[in-house]
Each structure stands twice: as C-alpha cells, then as structure tokens.
Amino acid sequence: MKGESDNREEHAAVAVRRMWPVAILRAALFLCLWLVLAGANPGDLPAAAAAVAAATWTSMHLLEPSSSRRSPLAIARLAFLFLFHSVVAGVDVAGRALNPRLPLRPGFLNYPTRLSRGVRRNVFTTLTSLLPGTVPAGEADGRIIYHCLDVSLPVAVDLAAEEAALVRALYND
C-alpha cells in the first residue's frame, strides 16, 4: 500500500514539473498580448501582473497541457497548405464576383470528419472557416455541414487535405 502511494505522489510531482514550462510560456504570451493591447506603461505593472497571472491560471485549468508532440515541419506544411488554399480560393471567389459568366453553384456539403467533438473539431472548423468559399454551417450526424459557393468544386478533397495536415501538425499523439 505504501509503495503505491509513493508511486502516485511521484507521478504527481512529475506532472507538476512538466506543467511549469507550459505555464511560463503561456504567461509570456499573455504578457505580450497585454503589451500589444495596453502598451508598456510602468504604472500598469500591478494590473498587468494580476491579469497575466489570472489568464495563465485560467488557461492551465481550462486547457490542460497535453503530452502530444507538435511537429514544427508539419505545422509549417499546414501553414503553407492553408495559405495556398486561401490564395487559390480567394482568386476563385474574386473571379466569380467580378465575372458574372462564371457560375455560382451554392449549396451544402456534409463533410464526414474523423475528429472528435470538442477542441479538435473546433480548431478544424475555425481553420476551414477562414478559407474563401466555404463556411461551416452546423453539424448533423457527426458530420460538419459546410455552405459552399460552388459545390461542383472538390471541396471535400480540400477539406480532407486540411484535416490531414491539421492532424499531422497538432495532434500527432
């Protein structure tokens, strides 16, 4: 019994040691956000410290650090893919807006995502909502419903590529 208790305490201590680097990084990011929004006024230091501490504490409790590894190369590929699709889709949308002969075939697409409900699916829908021509419009039967400007385009293929890139970049558990 005593050995089991010691083992649990040791695991808890290791978990706390792993959280410190994440907490420090988050605090630094919140401090940067404070400086961007409020500026660097020495008189605001007590309020900044309190706000950074509260934001860090809240973020550590609402979004606990995970043990998954992030791949910088996969994140760079995701960013490149996102920028590429944004430019291509933006040019397409602008062309359709400026040239009335180009067809619009608006409609809905039910996309069967492999991502579980919650943070992962929310990150995906947020990412894809930034792409011109598609807007997440809800969910039904575990599928994300997208409103598309042209349903004849390979929107599902593009969404699958974005989902795969996101999983490789952020959720490589």
Q: Mean pLDDT lowest for which of 20-29, 35-44, 65-74, 147-156? A: 65-74
d(CA 104, CA 126): 24
- 111 pLDDT band (50/70/90 cuts)? very high
Report the candidate in 76, 75, 85 with the shortest Cα–Cα distance to residue 170.
75
- Which strands sit side by side in the sheet containing 107-111, from one edge to the other? 107-111, 143-148, 134-140
Average pLDDT taken over every residue of the chain: 82
CA 154 to chain centre: 23
In the prediction, which pLDDT does 4 show? 59
Segment 85-110 mean pLDDT: 82
Residue 5 pLDDT > 60: no
Q: Mean pLDDT lowest for which of 20-24, 97-101, 136-140? A: 97-101
To the nearest whole percent, how much of the chain has pLDDT over 90? Answer: 23
End-to-end alpha carbon distance in the chain: 33
In the prediction, which pLDDT does 12 show? 58
Report the candidate in 69, 66, 64 with the shortest Cα–Cα distance to residue 167.
69
- 80 pLDDT band (50/70/90 cuts)? confident
Domain boundaries, the chain: 2-62, 72-170
Segment 37-47 mean pLDDT: 89
In the prediction, which pLDDT does 49 show? 93
d(CA 169, CA 75): 5
d(CA 105, CA 98): 16
Decide: pTM greater than 0.85: no
- Which pair of tokens denotes residue 140? 């039904």
Place of tokens 């960013």: 79
d(CA 122, CA 75): 17
To the nearest whole percent, how much of the chain has pLDDT over 70? Answer: 85
Residue 2 pLDDT > 60: no
